[in-house]
Every structure is written in structure tokens, then in C-alpha cells.
Amino acid sequence: MRKVIIIGIGAGNPDYITVQAINALNEVDVFFVIDKGAEKDDLNRLRKDICARYIRDRSYRTVEIPDPARERDAPCYEASVQAWHARRVALYEQLIARELGDGECGAFLVWGDPCLYDSTLRIVEQIVARGVVTFDYEVIPGITSVQALAARHKIALNRIGRPVEITTGRRLAKGWPTDVDDVVVMLDGECSFKHIAESGIDIYWGAYLGTADEILVSGNLQERGRDIERLRAEARTKKGWIMDTYLLRRAGGASE
Ligand SMILES: C[S@@+](CC[C@H](N)C(=O)[O-])C[C@H]1O[C@@H](n2cnc3c(N)ncnc32)[C@H](O)[C@@H]1O
């Protein structure tokens, strides 16, 4: 039986890798690496560094998977994402069938943790459901960018007995979510916090968390929002890509 392991490698720092992930890396014959556009060189370098640093006395192959293009300006976001996933399912299925021999172990190295805003698990589930290629699969958790953000700002994400919502910039732009005072925002290319006019909101922002380029800013949103927009634009121009995550927190209430 073939096996595929989906390994969370942490969101930026090679030290974020867990012992379980290191053990899994040392079982792998074939790494499937998805080619992801502008940030790919830096992210792929980190993946290579992780393999070089943690894999001992074992030969492995790497297979690059070109990421199928996604229609960015499609009228229906969900439909365009579904169509993109379907193209990825077909492509990954072909590659697993072609590249992974019987009894071999393949792996996808997922940035951060595979359970958070990552489509690899959904894609692998769909391949298994189609039954064209059969394999066992396993998931190894990793440190998410949200955990890295909280650790670097030395904050707890929740207040005592209170919920935290993790959402996207696209959704925040439509307004503050109901029934929560603590909101973590990911996948925000537009600084959607600028749509929040309410006073008494603190922001804890982090870009390139866990890497040598890490930038951290915190403070009152009205006072620091513009600085963050400027810093983000400058960093993105300099590096060619950016990944940032932030917590927005309504004032009041203790952390637990
Ligand atoms: C496709 S999601 C992947 C999330 C990932 N699975 C995780 O566990 O963090 C990409 C988003 O994660 C966040 N992100 C990932 N790595 C980051 C980092 N090192 N610094 C800041 N934000 C990061 C950004 O919000 C980015 O837009």
C-alpha cells in the first residue's frame, strides 16, 4: 500500500518543526512540492532547508507540481475556488499514481498547519473518495502563523471564557464579526482593518513571522493602522511578497 503524509512544517521558522514531523520526514521517499508563484523561492528554500537539516541517511526524490492558475477576478469566489480545487485534485491524483511506487511513502509539506486555511487535506480527501488511486494517509500537525503571532507578541488569543474568531481579510472588509471581541485575520492582501472605524480596538500585527524578516507592530488600531499599511507596502515591494496575520482586540476583559 502506498502512503501519503501531510506534514505541517510550521509557519516560517525551521525550529517550529515538531519531533513527530521529523520522524515523518524520515519515512518519505517522494516529496510533492507545489510551485506557488511569487513567494515560492523563499518558501521552497525553507522546505529544502528543513529536509536537509532533519532527514538523516535517507535518499528521497522531489516532484514539483505546478499550481494550476486560479481565476482571481471571477464573479463568484466560492465557485472559482472549487474549480481550482478540482484542477488540483486531477493533477495531484495523476502525480501520486505516476510517481509513488507500491509500498512507497509520499509527503506534502504544508506551511504552518494543514488544518488552517490550507486545501491539501480537502484535495487528498477527494482523491481518496474518487478511488482511482489508493493509498493510506496521515496528518502531522504544525505550528500555525496564529500561534507564532501570539507567541511573538506574548499574548493569549482569548480572554477569560470568551471566543476567538479566525477569519479572512475578505470577510473583515464586510464588517466586524458578530458576538466576538477578538478576531484573528489571515489572507488579507488589502489591510482590511482600515474599514474598522470603531475606537478602542488594539491590533497585534505580524509579517514574515518566524523568519529573519519578521516585523511586529502592536497598539491602538487608529494610531498604528496607517504605520502598518505603510510598513506592509514597503516590505512587499522590497521582498516581492508578504504574508501577514493580525489579531484585532476590543478593549476590556482579562486574558486567560
Ligand atoms: C494559505 S494561508 C496558510 C496558513 C497556514 N496553514 C498556517 O497554519 O498558518 C496563508 C496565510 O497565513 C498567514 N501566514 C502564514 N505564514 C505566515 C507568517 N510566517 N507570517 C505571517 N502570516 C503568515 C497569512 O495570513 C497568509 O495570508
Determine contact, residues 30/99, Cβ cutoff 8 Å: yes
Give 253's pLDDT tier (boundaries 50, 70, 90).
low
* 146 CA: nearest ligand 1 atom: 9
pLDDT reported for residue 8: 97
Q: Find the 159 Cα to ligand 1 centroid distance in Å.
A: 23
Among protein residues, the one whose CA lies closest to atom 11 of ligand 1? 187
Q: How far is the CA of 170 from the centre of ligand 1 (A)?
A: 15
pLDDT over 70, % of the chain: 95
Where does residue 149 rank: exposed (0-12), middle (13-18), buried (19+ CB within 10 A)?
A: buried
| pLDDT, position 85 | 84
What spacing in Å lies between the alpha carbon of 187 and ligand 1's midpoint?
Answer: 7
Q: Is pLDDT at 255 greater than 60 in this prediction?
A: no
**pLDDT score for 132:** 94
What is the rounded distance in angstroms from the CA atom of residue 37 to the CA atom of residue 110? 16
State residue 150's pLDDT score.
98
Q: Can you give the pLDDT at residue 256?
A: 53
Residue 54 or 69, more confident: 54
pLDDT for the residue numbered 38: 60
Average pLDDT of the residues in 154-179 = 96
Q: Is the distance from the beta carbon of residue 241 to the nearest atom of ligand 1 less than 6 Å?
A: no
Q: Provide the 3-class DSSP secondary structure of residue 6.
A: strand
pLDDT of 125 above 80: yes
**Residue 24 near residue 54 (C-beta atoms within 8 A):** no
For 71, 83, 146, 168, the CA distances from 76, given in Å and listed in that order, are 10, 11, 28, 16
Highest mean pLDDT among 31-35, 45-49, 190-194: 190-194
Using one digit for the tens of pLDDT, what is the confidence trace for 64-103? 887 777 766 777 878 888 888 888 899 999 999 999 999 9
CB of 172 sitting under 6 A from ligand 1: no
Identify the residue whose C-alpha is closest to ligand 1 atom 21: 244
Mean pLDDT of the chain: 92
Tell me the CA distances in angstroms from 67 to 12, 34, 37, 90, one per residue in order. Answer: 21, 6, 8, 12
Whether 147 is in the pocket of ligand 1, judged by its Cβ within 6 Å, is no
Query: What is the H or E stretch that residue 215 is in?
Result: strand 215-220
Q: Look at ligand 1, atom 27, and give the residue with the nearest C-alpha.
A: 187
Residue 102 CA to ligand 1 center (angstroms) comes to 34
Q: Looking at ligand 1, which residue's alpha carbon is closest to its atom 2?
A: 117
| CB of 32 closer than 8 Å to CB of 95 | yes
Q: What is the pLDDT of residue 254?
A: 59
210 lines ligand 1 (CB under 6 A): yes
Highest mean pLDDT among 19-33, 40-54, 64-78: 19-33
d(CA 13, CA 50): 10
Residue 17: pLDDT band with limits 50, 70, 90: very high
The answer, yes or no, to whether any atom of ligand 1 lies below 6 A from the CB of 117, is: yes
Sheet holding 105-110, edge to edge: 61-66, 30-35, 105-110, 2-8, 135-140
d(CA 112, CA 208): 12
